[in-house]
Structure 1
Amino acid sequence: MQIYLDTANLAEIREAASWGILSGVTTNPTLIAREKGADFKAIITEIAELVDGPISAETISLDAEGMVREGLEYASWHPNVIIKVPSTTEGLRAVSQLAKHGIRCNVTLCFNSVQALLAARAGAFIISPFVGRVDDTGVDGMALIREIAGIYRQDREITTKILAASIRHPRHIVEAALAGADIATCPFKVLQQAMRHPLTDRGIEQFLADWKSRMSS
């Protein structure tokens, strides 16, 4: 399973990229808005220079015509830019039209398997089920990932990748991989948490203490 970073913060992306683990980055209007004063195009193009993989840039139009217009513009910024559109009928129209231009789309805000199936049939490159937000409704978000994965396996024509979004904690990463997700997109904080364990810290302290004791004897 590939790991994407869910942020528009260049410092976070630069740091995570230095670990050698990133295959892509997802952004959305909320994440872009947090980078106050920064130009949208400048952020996306700089991210694309930092990470050699799909970079999601989300449209803000609600109609297919507007999504396609924005998508064509965003895709011209860098070959790695993919266009994020919502799981709506207008989004499906936009995906279908953009696909004819050879432009890949990430269909976001997916909350049921039918949305995922229709997005795949429209030509989506990525479908993004929001596991954390599904959990918030009292339903198992990972069950949705498993269901989508099962549906996609039944249809050999479907090549759409499943991206587990709304990742809340490190265990979500493991569960997404086991459920059949192709990608998990994570906040930087979750990636930091994933590499921390008290036994790792204790082991390092013990090794260093033993080495120091040997060298001083």
Structure 2
Amino acid sequence: MTSKLARLRDMTVVVADTGDIEAVRRLAPQDCTTNPTLLFKAVKDPAYAHIVEEALGWGRAQGGPRAALVAAVCDRLAVSFGTELAGIVPGRVSTEVDADLSFDTRASVEKARALIADYAARGVPREKVLIKLAATWEGIRAAEILQGEGIDCNLTLVFSLVQAAACADAGVFLISPFVGRILDWHVKAGGGPYDAETDPGVLSVRRIYAYYKAHGIGTVVMGASFRNAGEIEALAGCDRLTISPALLEALAADEGDLPRRLSPDTVAGAPARMSLDERAFRLALVEDAMATEKLAEGIRGFVADVRSLRALVDGALG
């Protein structure tokens, strides 16, 4: 019998959502994504002490203000893990710009250029890397600049069609619309019970996918943030899906049938094409309570993990 994971790979590019290098070796995804939360977990794993020690040793040999040095070591860690992952996966590795820059277009662009330069110095071409940015107005504008320079971007924390439409207009390479966090919000608000077909996170990604395909938009849709295998199965056929090791293993162990649920040929009823300037984008976003709250919460969470990583590095530098 064929596993559901094998069936999924026949119709969707499977991406591993982890910073665990050994898990990536074991599960053999096409691409790999990381974020500050995953990176913070990885650097505390004794298996990767050699990567951490190299970055700390490099940092101790540098000069300059302490805060800038700590940030530079954190960037080096991100690229070090990314370089390891890039040597394993045949496709792309996503590396995230610090979440505390989510509302600063210029600083985000400068950080992204520095990350790409560090990858290049290690022999990893930009074609192997996706720069992750939060899908704020400022993050989308940063992505627009970077895409114009040939640096492909992954816009994360996408919770609404409005964000997806603005990303498409900016020529973004890929977006990561979240599923599980949308479900979390609706359950907390008293909604449900939900199954895979009524899951509001699944329905959001399906709507974005239909919008893109109906209007000939080339931006890749990569569903993210899954709470269970049912959500993944309900999005079979999506361009890409980034999945945790635990759920990848669950799909690999399940030999049930997995029908295709999304296809560019079946997008009837897709939303009309939007045209969004900054005012329209911000207004539409604040009118969507779920998207506004989850975007803010996501940025807060990533900022907290960035700060935790910096504190860890600061202490370890001595």
The interval holding the TM-score normalised by the smaller chain is 0.7 to 0.9
Instruction: Decide whether the 8 Å contact of 1:10 with 1:47 is kept in 2.
Output: yes
Q: Pick one of 69, 80, 98 that aligns with 1:42.
A: 80
Q: Deviation digits for residues 150-207 of structure 1, max 9, x if unmatched?
A: 2112322x200111000222222211125xx2111011000111122499xxxxxxxx
Q: CA deviation at 1:54?
A: 1.3
Q: Which moved more, 1:183-192 or 1:38-47?
A: 38-47
Greater strand share, structure number: 1
Matched, 1:71 2:112: yes
Residue 96 of structure 2 contacts residue 133 of structure 2 at CA under 8 Å; is this kept in 1?
yes
Per-residue deviation, 1:66: 1.4
Q: Where does structure 1 lack aligned partners over 5 or more consecutive residues?
A: 200-217
In structure 2, what is the Cα distance between the partners aligned to 1:153 and 1:197?
30
Q: Select which of 161, 165, 178 maps to 1:130.
A: 178
1:193 is the counterpart of 2:250: yes
With over 3 angstroms needed to count, the CA separation of the structure-2 counterparts of 1:24 and 1:198, relative to structure 1, is: closer
Structure 2 counterpart of 1:46, which letter? E
Q: Which stretch of the first structure deviates more once superposed, 130-139 or 110-119?
A: 130-139
Distance in 2 between residues matched to 1:33 and 1:82, nearest whole Å = 19
Q: Counterpart in 2 of 1:3?
A: 14
Q: Deviations over 1:27-70 (max 9, x none)?
A: 00111011126322210101000111111100012211111111
Aligned counterpart for 1:58 among listed residues 87, 96, 107: 96
Q: Which residue of 1 aligns with 2:227?
A: 168
Q: Report how many residues are paired.
A: 192
| 2:19 partner amino acid | A
Note the 1:1-217 alignment, pairs <5 A: 1-17=12-28, 22-36=29-43, 38=52, 39-60=77-98, 61-62=101-102, 63-76=104-117, 77=119, 78-79=124-125, 80-138=128-186, 140-156=200-216, 158-177=217-236, 181-197=238-254
User: In structure 1, how many angstroms separate the alpha carbons of the residues matched to 2:249 and 2:145?
Assistant: 39
Q: Which amino acid aligns with 1:150?
A: A
Deviation at 1:120?
Answer: 1.0
Query: TM-score, length-normalised on structure 2?
Result: 0.58
Paired position in structure 2 for 1:203: none
SS in 2 for 1:53: coil
Q: Could you give the per-residue CA deviations for residues 67-103 of structure 1, whole angstroms, max 9, x where no partner exists?
A: 1111112223022011000010111110110011101
Question: Do 1:58 and 1:83's aligned partners in 2 also have CA atoms closer than 8 Å?
Answer: yes
| Secondary structure in structure 2 of the residue aligned to 1:83 | strand
Matched residue SS, 2:43: coil
Describe the superposition over 1:95-136 as per-residue Cα deviations: whole angstroms up to 9, x where unpaired.
110011101000000001010010111111111111000111
What TM-score does the superposition give when structure 1 sets the normalisation length?
0.84
Percent identity, aligned pairs only, is 34
Q: Which amino acid aligns with 1:194?
A: L
**Does the 8 A contact of 2:78 with 2:95 survive in 1?**
no
Q: In the alignment, residue 149 of structure 2 is paired with which amino acid? A: H
CA distance in 2, matches of 1:198, 1:177: 15
**Long gaps (5+) in structure 2:** 1-11, 45-51, 53-76, 187-198, 257-318
Counterpart CA distance in 2 for 1:27 and 1:36 is: 12
RMSD: 1.6
Amino acid at match of 1:184: L
Contact 1:167–1:184, Cα closer than 8 Å, also in 2: no
The DSSP-based 3-state class of the residue aligned with 1:152 is helix
The residue type equivalent to 2:109 in the other structure is V
